[in-house]
Amino acid sequence: MKKLCLFALFCNLVYADKPTNNLARYMLANYFQYGNDLKSAGYWYGQIAPDNDSRYVYLGYVPYLAASKAYDDIVKVIPQLDDHFKHNQEIQIMFALALEQTGKKNEAHSRLVSLNENHKTNQELAFKVVQMYLERTEPENALKVIKNLLNSSARRPNNFIFHFMESQIYLQLNKKTEALVAIKQCIEVYPKFDKSWLLYAVLHEQEGKIEEAIKGYSTFLEMSPESNAEIERHLLMLAFKHKTNNPKNTTVDTKKTLSHATELLAKTDYHKALIAVDNYLAMAPEDIQARLLKIEILAAQKQFEKAATVLGQWIVKDKEIDIWLKTLHLLCYLGLPYSKALQTLETV
């Protein structure tokens, strides 16, 4: 079928008059352009004979030039096409991009701002203008563009990125309450965006809401396509600190006694840190902070199975079963195979 259509177009080139020839050349150029054969598309665009009715050709030719990164050629035709395509958002955005790429940033930015004022619901345009304002360190103007888009368009999942940027900007302005509201809206309209959960966790942690922060970090790690050792370690430490901050979990004053082990861990001297914490546990075996510190050291050494074995022993003996089960779950984020975690529970 494609070959038949091409044959018909070639016949038009042979037998038809000039306007029809131009139309056939334009259709061939489009055929190759959308087949990503830019070289052949360029050849047929070059064969179109200029006439008074050839401006329709630029509907395909300008995108072709943009795809070919021929920005200078686009800038050359702007004066003759600007008024004709003043209502075509796609072409106008390409004009602005070409101006920006050829060093005419002020003219490009003015064009984008004007377009955005007349087309507030165009997502591509709004995104470019927001980026432009952020590059110029004008966060308030960026927020205005985002609010115009969100208030002027229907509530839809693909607006999530604007809620996310809104939250980032508010955080930059140190408006954490507004940032939290925006990131919650982002998650509400599109809960599968992993980075929104990370920002959600960071904001809650800064507010001291550790349980919500743990939820955010955990969800981020579950959704993220790649492992993130730094976030995994931070999550584990946050969970430990959250539990040990509760005074009822501390049987003795551990602040001074465990400081040496904590310092050794910070210096990545894991062997000595483990000896120090074991020495302390020999004197205070029920101290939860020390036991959590031991698990943290074993995790840092990637001795996940040994850590799981220790947790299994504590689950059997200790009334604080909940914290050990949660810690076992967190170890799976760090590298403990789920099969080993299940094996630990079966043993228990």
DSSP conformation letters of 125-142? HHHHHHHHHHHTT-HHHH
pLDDT digits (tens, 9 = 90+) for 161-205: 999 999 999 999 999 999 999 999 999 999 999 999 999 999 999
| Residue 140 belongs to a domain | no
**Residue at a domain's end among 68, 97, 121:** 68
- Which structural domain range is residue 298 located in? 235-348
| Residue 39 belongs to a domain | yes
Q: How far apart are the C-alpha atoms of 211 and 323, rounded to whole Å?
A: 13
pLDDT digits (tens, 9 = 90+) for 221-263: 888 877 777 887 787 777 766 665 554 444 444 455 577 788 8
| Residue 75 belongs to a domain | no
Whether the pLDDT of residue 287 is over 90: the answer is no
Residue 125 identity (one-letter amino acid): L
Predicted local confidence at residue 74, as pLDDT: 85
| Residue 310 belongs to a domain | yes
> How far apart, in Å, are the Cα atoms of 311 and each of 19, 179, 301, 320, 331?
81, 38, 16, 11, 10
Write down how long the chain is: 348
Q: How many domains does the chain have?
A: 2
| Residue 128 belongs to a domain | no
Predicted local confidence at residue 50, as pLDDT: 58
Q: Which residue has the higher pLDDT, 42 or 96?
A: 96
Predicted local confidence at residue 256, as pLDDT: 53
| Residue 74 belongs to a domain | no
**Residue at a domain's end among 17, 46, 68:** 68
Q: Do the Cβ atoms of 216 and 201 come closer than 8 Å?
A: yes
**Residue at a domain's end among 45, 68, 91:** 68
Ranges of H-type helices in 47-159 = 58-67, 71-81, 89-101, 105-118, 123-135, 139-152
Whether the pLDDT of residue 269 is over 60: the answer is yes
| Residue 76 belongs to a domain | no
| Residue 262 belongs to a domain | yes
